Structure 1
Amino acid sequence: MGSKQSSAAQLAAAVTEVLGVAQLPVRLRLWDGSEAGPPGAPVIRVRSPRAVRRLMWAPGELGLGRAYVAGELDLEDDVFATLAALTSSGRVGSAEPTTPLGVRARLRLAATAARLGALGPDPAPPPEEVRLRRFGRRHSRARDAAAISHHYDVGNDFYALVLGASLVYSCAVWDSPATGLDAAQEAKLDLVCRKLDLRPGARLLDVGCGWGSLAMHAADRYGAQVVGITLSREQAGLARRRVAEAGLADRVQIRVQDYRTVDDGPFDAVASIGMAEHVGRANVPRYATRLHDLLRPGGRLLHHAIAWNAGAFQADPDTFIARFVFPDGELLGLADIVGALEATGLEALDVEALRLHYALTLRAWVDRLEKNWDAAVAANGLGRARVWRLYMAGSALAFETGRMGVNQVLLQRPGGDPPPLRLRDWR
């Protein structure tokens, strides 16, 4: 008679079926000390049967993510190596819906849970998870404000630890991996200002202004008059303090305002950086028209947004990113956003792909988070720190593998002075 399988071996067999792979890509170490999986593979410590119960109720990345955020799973090795192994299955780390787990696999998982003493009702989600149904109609102003608050109003001290002195929460521009995060972010801010051809006295609208870094750079270095808008009250409060401390209050105004309600155009330039991901596919034509209408004839728009490169994108409310990080976030392909902007009459002058720059940026943010881990946990709790670690590392891998990209598109409203014959003098 063969010996009874260890708890780890039983769970490994079930997880292999959940992931849809021939061999488990990680090694499991369970609460009873048993282990299973390839020697030398990244180790996931399963601290509690409750983690198995979460996986039974939500097979795939959502169940695994909930267990990690709740502290029922730990990653014992490098987070990038562990996630790279898991995402090779296709059931983890995708922003799209995956094929539902079959009945046979679900029954096997339930049987394994029963043998491991993990059967029971669906555990309550960690408090860091957001339930979208609480917010009302998708992409209404109220729901957008709630979704933005969920992500950005988690404590300015926490973001400062992750982002560094620049307080810029979008892709930096790197000369090389050795550039350093702060210098790369300053280079990005300056590149935006040069692309927009900002001059003293020019009116700039910064849509989704964050903590005011671009607004301050444009006002201080280029003499622009800037209006920055955000839906995050915590961002706006800190941005106003930074503006005042820099002596720029006469040139920078920070508002808590939806882009749909801005009515004091026209502006000489508009920057939308890392904001379009929150707009929603159905609202993109209206969004593009609004940006067009806020520009004066001849004015420029710098549109900086993440793009989904891995085929057709369908938003899924049950991914880890949707539940914990970016409620209602939707990614478009580059052609979709350029087409929508051009449909308003804007002329595309230049497109610059920055995919690998975002991978470097995200790795720098994860490095800062891990080096400041105790302070980050003290600032905003262990669960939130775990969410940010998981999402930023997973996003870095998505940029490195080409599933996601990020692009700066420069456009101009017809009328006014024509663009120069050669535009790349900002390099």
Structure 2
Amino acid sequence: MADAASRLTALAEDVLGAKLPVRLRAWDGSEAGPADGPVLIVRERRALRRLLWKPGELGLARAWVAGEIDVEGDLYTVLDRLAGFLWERDAETRGALETVRDPKVRAAAKTLLKLAGPFPPPKPPVEEMRGRSGTRHSKRRDKQAISHHYDVGNEFYELVLGPSMVYSCAYWTDTGTLEEAQRDKLDLIARKLALKEGDRLLDVGCGWGSMAIHAAREYGARVVGITLSREQAAYARKRIADEGLTDRIEIRVQDYRDVTDGPFDAISSIGMAEHVGAVRYREYADILFRLLKPGGRLLNHQIARRPEPDEEAYEVDAFIDAYVFPDGELAPMGRTLTTLEEAGFEVRDVDVLREHYALTLRRWVANLEAHWDRAVRLTSPARARIWRLYMAASAVSFERNRIGVNQFLAVKTPASGASGLPRRSREWTE
């Protein structure tokens, strides 16, 4: 078992055909790899058993959540260096890593088995979502998935998100605070929707009520906000009462499929469509189209992935699905645009905000790290580690153009063709 770090490094480099870009420190105190930069620490042999049982991302994630692997130094640097080494391999190499059919992988598995120690593998950390019931993206199962992610305590989200309590990409115009950038994002959306006094706005996936409050307070809109999270709804209602806006805003614990009291002048859907799922996306677009009055506007703010060469082979990220957003799915930008058009919308503008989300995530990670001890007390050490990894890895993914985020402004254009939008698509930013 001596010099485990060198043996693990040689193993990884042989399988992947490239030099390990970070230094590795093993449980026996041995180290190997480049002397400069951060260190990836394998604290427990148990982490290797997780990799043998679940090769690839899920095994690594379980080891991270359990504290069996860690990082010494800058987490972003480690993730950025490992991105090319692990994430951005060609499809054939990535597939080989997760199957014993490849001779190199079979040989590596035998060596790893000797290093890993006795089986059976450890149980997954408790924060992993298991026991999902019902059909994927049924109302019942969607409610379970939303509760897993959002009902972990509003105080925890206050630490991470800050006073704005906005859990989506901010809009960074100049140097400023996270709160200013989130306010600017909400205001950008309100201007794109051309909100005015008395307009009815449906805020789908209203979160903790920030968009609803901004629309009612700054533009005089009458807002219906819907969420599947009871904790979010309770928090939003208290904020609304504190603002004296209960006569203008109604918050419901309600599925978007159950909204029947249209028409609305405008609909905002900010960071919610990722939960809808490919099998439901056309239904989602049809429902929003039906709920709008003729001439009404939709602002759909949504994370997107890069298109796959073989879309049929697309698989949901295993770590995100198990620990962060169960049943969440990302679609390429083109598919979202096409589906909105198929539902009847006229898509008038697409605003790409990819770099803005990377900046936002880095601020959220900084908030979490600054309040680490309290975050752990409010949730658990494992939950805090999940959020730190998912947000930091997501920031790197946005920076490396693995994922993006886009605002689609669409109109339910009436038969006359009078959309009501300015001829210049960016007049709302002036």
TM range (shorter): over 0.9
Q: Per-residue displacement from partner, 1:312-350 (whole Å, max 9, x unpaired)?
A: 555535621111111111111111111111112211121
| Equivalence map 1:51-200=2 (5 Å) | 51-91=47-87, 98-101=94-97, 102-103=99-100, 104-116=103-115, 118-131=117-130, 134-176=132-174, 178-200=175-197
More moved, 360-369 vs 37-46:
37-46
The one of 241, 244, 248 equivalent to 1:244 is: 241
| Matched residue, 2:45 | 49
Identity %, equivalent residues: 55
Q: 1:134 to 1:223 in 2, by over 3 A?
A: same
The answer for the alignment partner of 1:13 in structure 2 is: 10
Aligned counterpart, 1:344: 343
Question: CA-to-partner distance for each residue in 1:247-270, whole Å, 9 max, x for gaps?
Answer: 111111111111001000000000
Q: CA deviation at 1:135?
A: 2.3
Deviation at 1:46, TM superposition (A): 1.2
Q: Is residue 46–residue 116 contact of structure 2 (8 Å, CA) maintained in 1?
A: no
Task: Report deviation, 1:10.
Answer: 1.3
Deviations 1:109-128 (A, max 9, x none): 44334433523112110111
Identify the residue that residue 18 of structure 2 maps to in structure 1: 22
Q: Residue type matched to 1:326 in 2?
A: F
Pair 1:136–1:17, CA change in 2 (3 A): farther
Normalized against structure 1, the TM-score is what? 0.94
Q: How many residues align?
A: 421
Name the counterpart of 1:327: 326
Deviation at 1:24, TM superposition (A): 1.4
Cα distance change, pair 47–246 in 1 and its aligned pair in 2 (3 A): same
How far, CA to CA, are the matches of 1:56 and 1:311 in structure 2?
27
Partner of 2:428: 426
Return the alpha-carbon distance in structure 2 between the equivalents of residues 417 and 405 of structure 1: 28
Query: 2:220 corresponds to which residue?
Result: 223
| Cα distance in 2, alignment partners of residues 317 and 184 from structure 1 | 30
Distance 1:96 1:168 in 2: 39
Q: Distance in 1 between matches of 2:327 and 2:167?
A: 18
Q: CA RMSD in A?
A: 2.1
The one-letter amino acid paired with 1:200 is E
d(CA) in 1 for partners of 2:52 and 2:425? Answer: 55
Partners of 1:148 and 1:96 lie apart in 2 by 34
Q: Does 1:358 align with 2:357?
A: yes
User: Alignment partner of 1:331: what SS?
Assistant: coil
User: 1:302 and 2:299 equivalent?
Assistant: yes
Question: CA–CA distance in 2 between the matches of 1:311 and 1:393?
Answer: 23
Q: Note if contact 1:316-1:322 (Cα within 8 Å) is conserved in structure 2.
A: no
Residues 1:272 and 1:11: Cα distance change in structure 2 (over 3 Å):
same
Aligned to 1:281: 278
d(CA) in 1 for partners of 2:87 and 2:104?
14
Give the stretch that moved more between structures: 321-330 or 117-126. 117-126
- 8 Å contact from structure 1 (residues 159, 167) kept in 2: yes
Question: What is the aligned partner in structure 2 of residue 398 from structure 1?
Answer: 397
For the pair 1:214 / 2:205, whether they are aligned, the reply is: no
Residues 49 and 116, structure 2, Cα contact 8 Å, conserved in 1: no
CA distance in 1, matches of 2:120, 2:89: 26
> What is the identity, as a one-letter code, of the residue corresponding to 1:403?
R
Which whole-Å deviations, capped at 9, do the CAs of 1:161-185 have from their partners, x for residues lacking one?
A: 0100000000000013x22211000
Question: Counterparts of 1:373 and 1:242 in 2: how far apart (Å)?
Answer: 25
- The letter for the 2-side match of 1:276 is A
Check whether the contact 2:3–2:28 (CA below 8 A) recurs between aligned residues.
Answer: no
* Rounded Cα–Cα distance in structure 1 between residues aligned with 2:109 and 2:363: 40
Q: So what's the TM-score if we normalise by structure 2?
A: 0.93
Residue 381 of structure 1 corresponds to which residue in structure 2?
Answer: 380
Contact 2:316 2:329 in 1 (8 A): no
Structure 2 residue 207 is matched with structure 1 residue 205? no
- Counterpart secondary structure, 1:410: strand
CA distance in 2, matches of 1:156, 1:81: 30
Report SS of the residue matched to 1:299. Answer: strand
- Supply the distance in 2 between the matched residues of 1:96 and 1:155 (Cα, whole angstroms): 41
Match of 2:85, SS?
A: coil
Q: C-alpha separation between the residues in 2 aligned to 1:100 and 1:338?
A: 34
Contact 2:37 2:73 in 1 (8 A): no
CA distance in 1, matches of 2:90, 2:399: 14
2:423 is aligned with what amino acid? L
Assess, with a 3 A threshold, how the Cα gap between structure 1 residues 191 and 394 changes in structure 2: closer, same or farther. same
Secondary structure of 1:130's counterpart equals: coil
Q: Is the 8 A contact 2:132 2:144 kept in 1?
A: no
CA distance in 1, matches of 2:134, 2:10: 41
2:308 to 306, 311, 315: 311
Shift of 1:95: 12
User: Matched residue of 1:168: which SS?
Assistant: coil
**326-335 or 98-107, larger mean C-alpha shift:** 98-107
Which shows bigger deviation, 392-401 or 22-31? 22-31
Q: Which blocks of at least 5 consecutive residues in structure 2 are unaligned? A: none
Output the CA distance in 2 between the equivalents of 1:311 and 1:407: 18
Change (3 A) 1:45 1:234: same
* Offset, 1:421: 2.3
Does the aligned pair in 2 maintain the 1:228–1:252 contact within 8 Å? yes
Contact preservation (8 Å) 2:52, 2:113:
no
1:353 and 1:199 map into 2 onto residues whose CA distance is 25
Shift of 1:62: 1.4
| Paired residue secondary structure (1:134) | coil
